[in-house]
Structure 1
Amino acid sequence: MIVLKNFYYTENHLWLRKIGIYDFCIGITDFAQKEIGEIHLIEFNEKQGVIRKGESWGSVYGINKTFQLIAPCDCKIIEVNQNITIKPSHINTDPYNCWFFILSANISAGEFLTYKEYTQIIK
Structure 2
Amino acid sequence: MLTPKNLYYTENHLWLRKIGLCDFYIGITDFGQKEIGEIHLVEFNIQGNTVKKETSLGSIYGINKTFQLTAPCDCHIMEVNQRLNIKPSHVNIDPYNCWFLVFSMDISTGKFLTHEDYIRFTK
- What range describes the TM-score normalised by the shorter chain of this pair? over 0.9
Report the Cα distance in structure 1 between the residues aligned to 2:84 and 2:28, rounded to whole angstroms: 12
1:111 CA drift (Å):
3.0
The residue number in structure 2 matching 1:66 is 66
Distance 1:23 1:29, change over 3 A: same
Percent identity of paired positions between Structure 1 and Structure 2: 66
Q: How does 1:16-35 map to 2 (within 5 A)?
A: 16-35=16-35
Alignment of 1:44-123 (within 5 A): 44-108=44-108, 111-123=111-123
Query: 2:103, 2:79 → 1: CA distance?
Result: 7
1:2 is matched with which residue? 2
Given the superposition, is the C-alpha separation of residues 40 and 31 from structure 1 closer, same or farther in structure 2, using an over 3 Å criterion?
same
| Structure 1 contact 8–109 (Cα < 8 Å) conserved | no
| TM-score w.r.t. length of structure 2 | 0.96
SS at structure 2 position matched to 1:92 = helix
- Count of aligned pairs: 123
Structure 1's consecutive aligned runs of 4 or more residues displaced over 3 angstroms after TM superposition are: none
Q: Secondary structure at the match of 1:41?
A: strand
* Aligned-residue offset at 1:109: 8.8
Two-structure CA RMSD over aligned residues (Å): 1.3
Output one character per residue of 1:45-94: Cα deviation in whole Å (capped at 9) or x when no partner: 14231100001000000000000000000000000001112100000000
What 5-or-longer segments of structure 2 have no aligned partner? none
In the alignment, structure 1 segments of 5+ residues that lack a partner are: none
